[in-house]
Each structure stands twice: as C-alpha cells, then as structure tokens.
C-alpha cells in the first residue's frame, strides 16, 4: 500500500473512533417497585438497609463506530482505508 500523495510505502494503519451513540433506558415497573420497597424498608430499619440495598437507576447502551485510517509517516497525509 502506498501513500496517495507522496507514493511512500512508510504508512501506518489505525482504527479511529469516528462516531458514537448513547441511549438511556428508564427504570420501568420493576425498577419503580424496587425503589418503593427500598424506601419502605429504609423507614422501618432507620435507613441502615440503604447501606446494602442500592437504588435502581435504569440502564444505558453505548455504540461506537470505528473506521480504518491510513497515515503516511513521511508526509503526514491521512485517508480512509477500504
């Protein structure tokens, strides 16, 4: 493989993160029920149950898009590699 600008063979190919997407899901019925039971148990135990039983916060997903990029070590030109 050669550089498209200077035709050198001194290149490096890397994966570069080009984009990302995040989504957050709510608690749902199970999470709200968990938090209600946690609150009522905390009232009875004067808050000591909260040291063990954590609050339900929902979940999140992350997706990232990676692309292969070529970088010429001689002239510094970068390009997408197919």
* Between residues 24 and 14, the one the model is more confident about: 14
pLDDT for position 27: 77
- The full 3-state SS of the chain, as one line of letters, equals CCCCCCCCCCEEEEEEEEEEEEEEECCHHHHHHHHHHHHHHHHHCCCHHHHCCCCCCCEEEEEEEEEEEEEECCCCCEEECC
CA distance 33 to 54: 13
* Between residues 69 and 25, the one the model is more confident about: 69
* Whole-prediction pTM: 0.48
For the chain, give every domain's residue range: 11-80
pLDDT for position 75: 93
% the chain with pLDDT above 70: 100
């Amino acid at each position: 493989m050669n550089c498209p600008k200077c035709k050198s063979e001194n290149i490096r190919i890397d994966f570069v993160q080009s984009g990302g997407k995040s989504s957050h899901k709510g608690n749902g019925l199970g999470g709200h029920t968990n938090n209600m039971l946690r609150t009522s148990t905390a009232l009875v135990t004067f808050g000591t149950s909260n040291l063990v039983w954590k609050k339900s916060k929902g979940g999140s997903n992350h997706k990232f898009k990676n692309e292969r990029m070529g970088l010429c070590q001689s002239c510094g030109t970068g390009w997408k590699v197919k």
